[in-house]
Structure 1
Amino acid sequence: MRPICHLAFFLAVTHSLLILAAEPTRLVPEDIYKLAGPQLTVASPKTGAAAVIYRRVDQTSKQERFALGWSDSEGYRLLEKDEPDARNVAVSPDGKWLAVRSTRLRPQGWKQIPATPLQSDVATDIWLVSTDGKQAIPLAGPEKPYGRVFNDPFYGRVAFSPDGKRLVFVADDGVDPRTKEEIEADVYVDRPDQGEGYTGYGTARIWVAELKEEPGDFAASNFLKVTNDDVWYGDPQWTPDSKWLVVHANKTNDVEAVRFSINKNYDIFLIEVATTRQHQLTFGPGPEVSPRLHPDGEHLICLSSPRKGPHADVFNLQWVDFTVAGFGKPSAVNLFDHHAELTVEPPHSIPTFPLPDPCWDGESAVIYSTLVGVENKTIRVEIESAKGIELNVGEDYSNNELSPAVRQVTLSKKYSPPSNPILKERFIAVDHVLRWKNEGLELEGVLTLPPREIAKRPYPLVLYPHGGPHSRSSKGFGATAHVLAHAGYAVFQPNFRGSTGYGKKFLDADRNDLGGGDMRDILAGIEHLKQEKLIDPDRQFVFGSSYGGFMTTWLIGHTRQFRAAVAQNAVTDMNVMWGLSDIQSWTQYELSGLPWEVPERMHERSPYSHVQKVTTPTLLVHSHDDRRVPLPMSRMYHQALLARGVPTQLVIYPDEGHGIRQPKHQVDVLRRTLAWFATHDNRPAAHSSGR
Structure 2
Amino acid sequence: MNTRLLRFIPALFLSVVLALSIGVSAQSRRPMTIDDMLNLVQVSAPRISPDGRRVIYTMSELGKWKDNKRVTSIWIADVDGSNARRFLGHEKDRGPAWSPDGKSIAFLSTREASAGGREGEGTADSGAQIYVIPVDGGEATKLTDHKGNIRSFDWTKDSTAIVFSAERAKSDAQKANEKAGDDAIFVDEEANGQERAEFSELWRITIADKAERQLTHDDHLLIESVRVSPDGKKIALTYRRENSRNGQFHAEVAVVDAASGELKTLTHNNAPEMAVQWSPEGKMLSYLAPSDTSWELAEEKLWVIPAEGGDARKLTGAFNGNIGQYAWAPDGQSIVFGASVRARGAAYRVNVATGAVSSIAGGDWAGRMESVSTDGKRGVAVVSKPDAPGDVHLIDLTTGTLTPITHANPQVSELALSQFRAVTWKSKDGLEVEGMLWLPADYKPATKLPFILAVHGGPAGAWDVSFRGINHVYTGLGWAVLEPNVRGSSSYGDTLLRGNMKDIGGGDYQDLMTGVDKVIADGIADPDHLAIRGWSYGGILGGWTLTQTTRFKAASLGAMVADWASEYAMGFNYDVRLWYIGGTPWESADNYRRQSSYTHIAKVTTPTLLLHGERDTTDTIGQSMMFYQGLRDRGIPTRFVRFPREPHGFREPHHVRIRDAEEISWLMKYARGMDWKAPERKDKDSAEPKKSTDQFVAYLFRIITGPLRLHPAAQACASGAPGCRGPQIAAGGLL
Q: Which residue number in structure 2 is paired with residue 367 of structure 1?
A: 336
Describe the shift of the 1:84–1:630 C-alpha distance in structure 2 as closer, same or farther (beyond 3 A). closer
Structure 2 residue 270 is the aligned partner of structure 1 residue 285: yes
**CA displacement, residues 332-373 of structure 1 (integer Å, 9 cap, x when unaligned):** 211253xxxxxxxx3x444524x33x3435311101122221
Alignment of 1:107-122 (within 5 A): 111-114=118-121, 116=123
Q: CA deviation at 1:194?
A: 12
**CA displacement, residues 454-487 of structure 1 (integer Å, 9 cap, x when unaligned):** 9983221111111111111111102233322222
Alignment of 1:110-149 (within 5 A): 111-114=118-121, 116=123, 124-141=128-145, 144-147=146-149, 149=150
Q: CA deviation at 1:103?
A: 3.5
Describe the shift of the 1:533–1:173 C-alpha distance in structure 2 as closer, same or farther (beyond 3 A). same
Structure 2 residue 619 is the aligned partner of structure 1 residue 629: yes
Q: Secondary structure at the match of 2:93?
A: coil
Q: Select the residue among 397, 407, 425 that pairs with 2:378.
A: 407
**CA displacement, residues 509-531 of structure 1 (integer Å, 9 cap, x when unaligned):** 21111101100011011111111
Structure 2 residue 416 is the aligned partner of structure 1 residue 427: yes
Q: Secondary structure at the match of 2:44?
A: strand
- Is residue 372–residue 501 contact of structure 1 (8 Å, CA) maintained in 2? yes
**CA displacement, residues 579-630 of structure 1 (integer Å, 9 cap, x when unaligned):** 2114455345321111011111110111111111111111100010111101
| Counterpart Cα distance in 2 of 1:87 and 1:454 | 47
Structure 1: which amino acid aligns with 2:76?
W
Q: Select the residue among 75, 89, 102 that pairs with 2:96.
A: 89
| Counterpart Cα distance in 2 of 1:107 and 1:553 | 42
- Is residue 38–residue 418 contact of structure 1 (8 Å, CA) maintained in 2? no
Q: Which moved more, 1:51-60 or 1:644-653?
A: 51-60
Q: Secondary structure at the match of 1:331?
A: coil
Describe the shift of the 1:76–1:656 C-alpha distance in structure 2 as closer, same or farther (beyond 3 A). farther
| Counterpart Cα distance in 2 of 1:98 and 1:193 | 37
Describe the shift of the 1:372–1:250 C-alpha distance in structure 2 as closer, same or farther (beyond 3 A). same
Q: CA deviation at 1:164?
A: 0.9
Q: Select the residue among 254, 266, 290 that pairs with 2:251.
A: 266
Describe the shift of the 1:633–1:76 C-alpha distance in structure 2 as closer, same or farther (beyond 3 A). farther
Structure 2 residue 208 is the aligned partner of structure 1 residue 209: no
**CA displacement, residues 402-443 of structure 1 (integer Å, 9 cap, x when unaligned):** 754432348576573124333122112133111111112111
Q: CA deviation at 1:55?
A: 1.5
What do you get for the CA RMSD once the two structures are aligned?
3.3
Q: Select the residue among 32, 42, 48 that pairs with 2:53.
A: 48
Q: Which moved more, 1:16-25 or 1:496-505?
A: 16-25
Q: Which residue number in structure 1 is paired with residue 680 of structure 2?
A: none
- Is residue 191–residue 199 contact of structure 2 (8 Å, CA) maintained in 1? no
Q: Which moved more, 1:409-418 or 1:40-49?
A: 409-418
| Counterpart Cα distance in 1 of 2:658 and 2:193 | 22
Structure 1: which amino acid aligns with 2:627?
Y
Structure 2 residue 162 is the aligned partner of structure 1 residue 167: yes
Query: After the TM superposition, which parts of structure 1 deviate over 6 Å for at least 4 consecutive aligned residues?
Result: 15-22, 176-180, 193-198, 453-456
**CA displacement, residues 474-508 of structure 1 (integer Å, 9 cap, x when unaligned):** 11102233322222221111111111112222211
Describe the shift of the 1:506–1:363 C-alpha distance in structure 2 as closer, same or farther (beyond 3 A). same
Q: Secondary structure at the match of 2:620?
A: coil
Q: Which residue number in structure 1 is paired with residue 12 of structure 2?
A: none
Q: Which residue number in structure 1 is paired with residue 656 of structure 2?
A: 666
Describe the shift of the 1:32–1:350 C-alpha distance in structure 2 as closer, same or farther (beyond 3 A). closer
- Is residue 546–residue 606 contact of structure 2 (8 Å, CA) maintained in 1? yes
- Is residue 565–residue 585 contact of structure 2 (8 Å, CA) maintained in 1? yes
Q: Which has the larger radius of gyration?
A: 2
| Counterpart Cα distance in 2 of 1:39 and 1:195 | 31
| Counterpart Cα distance in 1 of 2:125 and 2:115 | 24
Q: Which moved more, 1:516-525 or 1:499-508?
A: 499-508
Q: Secondary structure at the match of 2:199?
A: coil
Alignment of 1:223-302 (within 5 A): 223-224=213-214, 226=216, 228-251=218-241, 256-257=244-245, 264-302=249-287
Q: Which residue number in structure 2 is paired with residue 523 of structure 1?
A: 513
Structure 2: which amino acid aligns with 1:257?
R
Q: Secondary structure at the match of 2:286?
A: strand
| Counterpart Cα distance in 1 of 2:339 and 2:489 | 14
Q: CA deviation at 1:654?
A: 1.5
- Is residue 458–residue 538 contact of structure 2 (8 Å, CA) maintained in 1? yes
Q: Select the residue among 319, 323, 346 that pairs with 1:352.
A: 323
| Counterpart Cα distance in 1 of 2:159 and 2:419 | 47
Describe the shift of the 1:106–1:287 C-alpha distance in structure 2 as closer, same or farther (beyond 3 A). closer
Alignment of 1:675-686 (within 5 A): 675-682=665-672
Q: CA deviation at 1:448?
A: 1.5
- Is residue 36–residue 54 contact of structure 1 (8 Å, CA) maintained in 2? yes
| Counterpart Cα distance in 2 of 1:45 and 1:426 | 38
Gaps of 5+ in 1: 1-14, 151-156, 214-219, 324-328, 338-345, 395-400, 685-691
Q: CA deviation at 1:538?
A: 0.9
Q: Secondary structure at the match of 1:352?
A: strand
**CA displacement, residues 126-145 of structure 1 (integer Å, 9 cap, x when unaligned):** 2212213521112224xx32
Structure 2: which amino acid aligns with 1:105?
E
**CA displacement, residues 308-352 of structure 1 (integer Å, 9 cap, x when unaligned):** 446x632222121234xxxxx423211253xxxxxxxx3x44452
Which TM-score applies when normalising by structure 1? 0.83
- Is residue 208–residue 226 contact of structure 1 (8 Å, CA) maintained in 2? no
Q: Secondary structure at the match of 1:90?
A: strand
Q: Which residue number in structure 1 is paired with residue 110 of structure 2?
A: 103
- Is residue 47–residue 95 contact of structure 1 (8 Å, CA) maintained in 2? no
Percent of counterpart pairs with the same letter?
A: 23
Q: Secondary structure at the match of 1:551?
A: helix
| Counterpart Cα distance in 1 of 2:358 and 2:529 | 44
Q: Which residue number in structure 2 is paired with residue 191 of structure 1?
A: 187
- Is residue 81–residue 406 contact of structure 2 (8 Å, CA) maintained in 1? no
Alignment of 1:274-353 (within 5 A): 274-306=259-291, 307-309=293-295, 313-323=298-308, 329-337=309-317, 346=318, 348-353=319-324
Q: Secondary structure at the match of 1:550?
A: helix
Describe the shift of the 1:661–1:198 C-alpha distance in structure 2 as closer, same or farther (beyond 3 A). farther
Q: Which residue number in structure 2 is paired with residue 68 of structure 1?
A: 74
Q: Secondary structure at the match of 2:484?
A: strand
Q: Which residue number in structure 1 is paired with residue 724 of structure 2?
A: none
Q: Which moved more, 1:202-211 or 1:35-44?
A: 202-211
- Is residue 543–residue 552 contact of structure 1 (8 Å, CA) maintained in 2? yes
- Is residue 237–residue 292 contact of structure 1 (8 Å, CA) maintained in 2? yes
- Is residue 32–residue 416 contact of structure 2 (8 Å, CA) maintained in 1? yes
Alignment of 1:458-477 (within 5 A): 458-477=448-467
Q: Secondary structure at the match of 1:492?
A: strand
- Is residue 206–residue 234 contact of structure 1 (8 Å, CA) maintained in 2? no
Describe the shift of the 1:502–1:411 C-alpha distance in structure 2 as closer, same or farther (beyond 3 A). closer
Q: Secondary structure at the match of 1:525?
A: helix
Structure 2: which amino acid aligns with 1:173?
R
**CA displacement, residues 512-556 of structure 1 (integer Å, 9 cap, x when unaligned):** 111011000110111111111111111111110111000111111
| Counterpart Cα distance in 2 of 1:196 and 1:544 | 32
Q: Which moved more, 1:652-661 or 1:384-393?
A: 384-393
**Count of matched residue positions in the alignment of Structure 1 and Structure 2:** 625
Q: Secondary structure at the match of 1:386?
A: coil
Structure 2: which amino acid aligns with 1:66?
T
Describe the shift of the 1:657–1:406 C-alpha distance in structure 2 as closer, same or farther (beyond 3 A). farther
Describe the shift of the 1:181–1:170 C-alpha distance in structure 2 as closer, same or farther (beyond 3 A). closer
Q: CA deviation at 1:246?
A: 0.4
Q: CA deviation at 1:190?
A: 3.5
